[in-house]
Chains A and B, each alone.
Chain A
Amino acid sequence: MKVARRDALGLAAAAGAGVLASGCDRLTRGLTHPAAPASIALPTGAVAPLARLLNRVGYGPRPGEIEALGRQGREAFIEEQLHPNDEEEPFLALRLRAIEALRSNGLELADLPEWHILAQLQQAALLRAVYSRHQLRERMVEFWTNHLNIYARKGQLTYFLPTDCEQVIRRHALGRFPDMIRASAHSPAMLGYLDNQVNRRIDKSGGGANENYARELLELHTLGVHGGYTQKDVQEVARCLTGWTIESRFWRQRGRFRFDPDFHDDGPKRVLGQDIAAGGGVKDGERVLDILCAHRSTAKFISEKLVRYFLGRDDAPWTNKLADVYMKSGGDIPSMLKPLLVSDDLLSGPAILKRPFDFMVSALRATAAETSGGRPLQEHLAKMGQPLHQWPMPDGYPQKTSAWTGTVLARWNFALALATGSIAGATVNLTDLLKGSNSDDASAASRSLVEVILGDRAESNSGLVELISTHIGAREATGAPGETIIAEAGALVLSTPAFQWR
């Protein structure tokens, strides 16, 4: 039954793809877009921990989700998040099916211009982050996308990027870390980005290997820069990976991984104190990946990054705890995350700055925006400094707060544009959203806006409520239209320092 229903939807979406793309999507919109709740009032009891849980596991609450989480309970929620299935809301599934780049592989996309593919990938990321109920998976996809960062604008990598996004990152985002690293090492996008594609021995005597991928594999993907490797290890790993390239000879196989024995340095090697005998061929590289993924430094480095991502600080006991789980479970990501996500430490500690993508998605969610994730939205993301897949260096977009303090103005401008309905493909109606809540006067409207957007009691934000109320009052005195006043007030709440943190 279920399968049949999904197939039917898929067909409908495929047939309707052109219609969707042309913007005449009103037909499907009303049927399936997640409806805003009748009331946005916060449930009774303590809401701050619930809001923070939604902000830290995912991209923040949509109206009504705090209440739903209260009913479901924290442990059940975390369990569900750690083990997502492939089911998505019909609205989201429909929209994703219309995205060509997700349905095709590599060179099948050769007819599309590169910017088009890049736009589709960003669209998919936005739609999923905004609408998927598997919020943790989306957060982890973002995490690993930066951990195994690829700059889309290098060469013609864009064509290989969709496969990397789906088969390396998304497929293993909540799977096993070694599986993801192996997939990445075989991924044409990564082979191209870090030049392993051209990593060849020069002659029978060896030498001349290209160190680019080998170094970043050790430094950024597995052991970490203080993980105990030497320059000699970098060179030896590079030798092991000579001949790992992208198929370019036969049309049918073009764009796939290929091991080319002619370019492989088949001499003996020594990596991190372990001997790799001569004549191993492609197994040399596989062996290297095994050594790296089984290394305690890798466990520690990955754990350290995960702790920082979810707690917003360094914490040695937590890092060690997660590293232990990594070593015992063979790098099983959900097993590592679980103790962290059910811990009270997730809900305490310093606030974490939302990067522009986090900020954008949380704003779209908080305002129950209806979005296609299209180019106008992506342009705002670029102006805020985080266009997806466009960070040139292999370390991915920075996490540290100090890197992002220059983005405040672009955030304000996004908030103003979003709330006033000035972004094509992102519709917000705050006046509708406040219906059913008390918004009769400036003060009540201000309270409701602060509560729905910040997901917190108005009483905890009395200063803010008062400022917004004053602004609304002053605007009402000018006789401005009520909808504009509410939209503008909503933009100001989205612009507050408080909304920039999770």
Chain B
Amino acid sequence: MPNDWSSCDGRGWASTSDSLQTGPNMTSGESQERGLSRRQAVLGAALGGLAWASAPRTSLAQLAVRPNRAESEADLLVYVFLRGGMDGLNAVIPCAEDDYHRSRPALRLASPKDRGAAQADRAIDLDGFFGLHPALASLHPIFEQGRLGFVHAVGSGDQTRSHFEAMATVERGQPNDLTGSAVGWLARHLALSPTENGSPLRAVALSSMMPDSLRGATGASAITNLSEFRLDVPRVAGISSERSLRDTLANLYGHGTDAIAHAGRETLKVIDSLARVDPAQYRPQNGAAYPASELGGALKQVACLIHANVGLEVACLDRGGWDTHFAQGSAGGLLASQLADVGDCLAAFDRDMAARMKRISVVVMTEFGRRLHENSALGTDHGRGSVMMLMGGGVRGGKVHGAWPGLMPDKLDGPGDLRVTTDYRDVLSELLAKRLGNNKASEVFPAHLPRSIGAFA
């Protein structure tokens, strides 16, 4: 991959795995000058790293500051959506509830102090009431250290128990509109955010498809693989250079007003920005090892973009496979392996980001939780309330937030579901105001009066 951005984070960060201690390499005035190549001049302010490139080499503390957004002091958001309805009751388990154990004879996890059960089959105690699924064990130290918290019995007002309605409701951030034209909540946030960030990589979805939460956002891209995000010029005698093809494409896409013409122009900008990022060279810090899963690969790419200082503000990731109607398992099995992947991925990210976690907020959520009672196929059907995971320096961690509604039959919702006591918009509004520097949450989530949760500092 061509990489003519040799002075700063393009090659500098990639080739030195110890750069955490020294910051992006800026070793001499000469390299600084070399760095200000023609491409930089052309791309100008579109590239977030430019200001950084000309800044003097400084201390560890400044690493955490994204240069183009230094004035905003806003967190970078990593938004992970678990698609299919994650069973919050078996992730952050209400161990002290008898009804939990009664309703799930096959799927239940044993309580932390249950001497009758093997250690591996027991939940990990969080606060004497809730326990963590043992598959999430890698998150426990982060919880203990206060960088990870949960909000339980959280959900949306959607009553259909339909994946698609519930996801659309959550991702649009407002009650379903039948026209289907509403933009996503993250798109509204980006439009209302006070930061001036012209980076084409301001918002990135690590998927081939743009999630609804980013629908209508400018400067949002869907990318599955950073290192493949370039024009793939076939090896044919006499074919044009990548540059020449790129320029003709820029002309072809120069003036159109349709959605594809617009997307094409954004794509060209992203190609230009990513030309100076070399993901193949990316080495996670502090011995962090990302699982070889899709989510692991995606989070590693997010880490790579963060290190490269390309102006990333919001990263969206998806992980499917939570629709566990059948044989979801208990301490082992389907759900356990799903949870283990999420836990191990988040733990690797936390370790990799280290001090940078101070200015990063990770939010993990799903469209709904699952029925309290297990079904005859030893799975669970669509329910209501589930759990949100929050990780980052600004999280009030070490705590399970939210009002617990209880699991007694009269406390359940509809056919036997965990009642929703916290609207997901309460959590996200607090995130916007306290961590993302956006005090217009009422416009991001219209028709919602947020209540304080106290999940973010």
Residues of A within 8 A of B (CB): 194-195, 198-202, 208-212, 215, 219-220, 225-226, 231-232, 234-235, 314, 351, 353, 383-385, 392-395, 398, 400-410, 412-413, 416-417, 420-422, 463-464, 467, 471, 474-475, 478-481, 484-485, 487-488, 492, 495-497, 500-501
Contact = CB atoms under 8 A, between A and B. Distances in A.
B240 A231 contact: no
Interface of B: 83-84, 159-165, 178-180, 205, 207-210, 212, 215-216, 221-224, 228-240, 244-245, 248-249, 251-253, 255-256, 258-264, 267, 271, 320-321, 323, 325-327, 373-377, 379, 381-382, 414-415
Given A409-B271, A481-B237, A467 B252 contact: yes
B263 A215 contact: no
Contacts of A201: 376
Given A409-B267, A416-B232, A420-B234, A402 B162 contact: no
Contact of A200 (B215, B253, B323, B377): B377
Given A219-B162, A385-B208, A195 B263 contact: no
B234 to A, nearest CB: 4
Given A200-B377, A501-B258, A417 B232 contact: yes
Given A225-B164, A497-B256, A211 B236 contact: no
Contact of A215 (B161, B238, B255, B414): B161
A213 to B, nearest CB: 9
Given A231-B415, A501-B258, A409 B83 contact: no
29 contacts: A198-B327, A198-B379, A200-B376, A202-B376, A210-B325, A210-B379, A210-B381, A219-B164, A225-B165, A231-B161, A231-B414, A235-B415, A392-B320, A393-B164, A398-B209, A404-B210, A406-B208, A406-B263, A408-B263, A412-B231, A420-B234, A420-B236, A422-B234, A480-B239, A484-B236, A487-B236, A496-B252, A497-B253, A497-B258
Contacts of B255: 463
A482 to B, nearest CB: 9
Contacts of B83: 392-393
B321 A405 contact: no
B226 to A, nearest CB: 12
Nearest to B228: A383
B236 A400 contact: no
Contacts of A416: 231-234, 245
A314 B177 CA distance: 14
B415 A210 contact: no
B381 A407 contact: no
Contacts of B179: 314
B160 to A, nearest CB: 6
A351 B414 CA distance: 43
Nearest to A482: B238
Contacts of A198: 326-327, 376-377, 379
A406 B209 contact: yes
A481 B238 contact: yes
A412 B215 CA distance: 22
B180 A400 contact: yes
B373 to A, nearest CB: 8
A225 B163 CA distance: 10
B372 to A, nearest CB: 13
A162 B260 CA distance: 34
Contact of B382 (A211, A395, A467, A474): A211
A215 B236 contact: no
Contact of B232 (A211, A404, A413, A481): A413
Given A215-B161, A409-B229, A209 B238 contact: no
Given A402-B216, A408-B264, 16 more contacts: A198-B377, A199-B376, A210-B379, A211-B375, A212-B326, A314-B179, A392-B320, A405-B222, A405-B262, A405-B263, A409-B271, A467-B248, A474-B244, A484-B238, A488-B239, A497-B260
Contacts of A199: 376-377
A410 B261 CA distance: 14
A417 B261 CA distance: 21
Contacts of A225: 160, 162, 164-165
B239 A484 contact: yes
Given A402-B216, A409-B229, A412-B231, A210 B260 contact: no
A420 B239 contact: yes
A11 to B, nearest CB: 39
A404 B320 contact: no
Contacts of A420: 234, 236, 239
Contacts of B221: 406
A500 B84 CA distance: 31
B277 to A, nearest CB: 15
Given A195-B379, A406-B221, A413-B232, A211 B325 contact: yes
Contact of A497 (B223, B235, B261): B261
A231 B231 CA distance: 49
Contacts of A208: 373-376
